[in-house]
Amino acid sequence: MCVVALIFLLSSLYLSATTEASKCSIDGFPLVKNISELPQDNYGRAGLSHIILAGSLLHGMKEIEVWLQTFAPGSRTPIHRHSCEEVFVVLKGSGNLYLASNSHGKYPGSPQVFPIFANSTFVIPVNDAHQVWNTNDQEDMQVLVVVSRPPVKVFVYEDWLMPHTAAKLKFPYYWDEPCFEAPATVRDEL
C-alpha cells in the first residue's frame, strides 16, 4: 500500500513539473527559442502570418514588443494608427508603405507612398496613420516589427478621408486578446 502511494505521489510531482505553463505566462518560456516552434496565426486576416517573438502580455515585456510578420502577395494591414512608435525591417520581398501626410488634422488625408524592399527599414511615428501593403504579386514580404509601449491600442480607418473621431478602436488587439485580463482606460492621444 505504501509503495502504491509513493508511486502515485512521485507521478503527481512529475506531471505537475512537466505540465506546460499557461499560454499567457512567462513561466515555461525558454530564454532561447526556435522561431519555427513559436505560435503563429493570421487572426482572421487572409495572407497574414503573425508571430510574437517578444511580447508584453505573452512574455512580460514592458517597453517594447517584437513581431515577425509575413504578408502573402496582395495582402496588407488595414489603414490604422496607434499610440506607439513602430520600427520595421523588411527581411524579404517588397511592397509599399502608405503614410498619412496629415495625421494630426481632422482626418489622415492622402498618404505618401514609399516603396519598401528587402533590407530596407522605416519608422512610423506615434499616431501617424499608415498601411503596409505587399504589392509584389510573386513573393511573400516578411518584416520584423518593433513597437514601443505595448500592448498596442489600434485605431482602424475605412479609408484615408475617415475622420479620426470615427476611427474604430481595437483594444486589446487580436494577438493580445487571449492574455488580456484587466479592462484598461484607453485614451486617444490625438
> Residues 15-24: pLDDT tens digits?
333 334 456 6
In a domain, 112, yes or no: yes
Is 37 labeled as ligand-binding? no
For residue 17, is it left (φ>0), alpha (ψ between -120 and 50) or beta? alpha
Whole-angstrom distance, CA of residue 156 vs CA of residue 170: 7
Considering the domain boundaries, does residue 6 fall inside one?
A: no
The predicted structure's pLDDT at residue 182: 53
Residue 31 lies in a domain: no
Asked if the structure places residue 137 within a domain, the reply is: yes
Domain holding 147, by residue range, is: 42-179
pLDDT digits (tens, 9 = 90+) for 42-70: 888 899 999 989 887 667 778 999 999 99
Q: Does residue 189 sit within a domain? A: no
Is 80 assigned to a binding site?
Answer: yes
- The Cα 84–Cα 81 span in angstroms is 9
According to DSSP, residue 177 is labeled: G
Residue 61 lies in a domain: yes
Determine, yes or no, domain membership for 17: no
Domain count, the chain: 1
158 annotated as ligand-binding? no
The SS3 of residue 11 is helix
* 85 annotated among ligand-binding-site residues: no
Give the SS3 label for residue 41: strand
- Asked if residue 171 is part of any domain, the answer here is yes
Residues of the chain with pLDDT under 70: 1-29, 57-58, 101-103, 171-190
CATH code of the domain containing 124: 2.60.120.10
DSSP per residue over 150-175, as a string? SSP-EEEESSTTS-GGGPEEE-S-TT
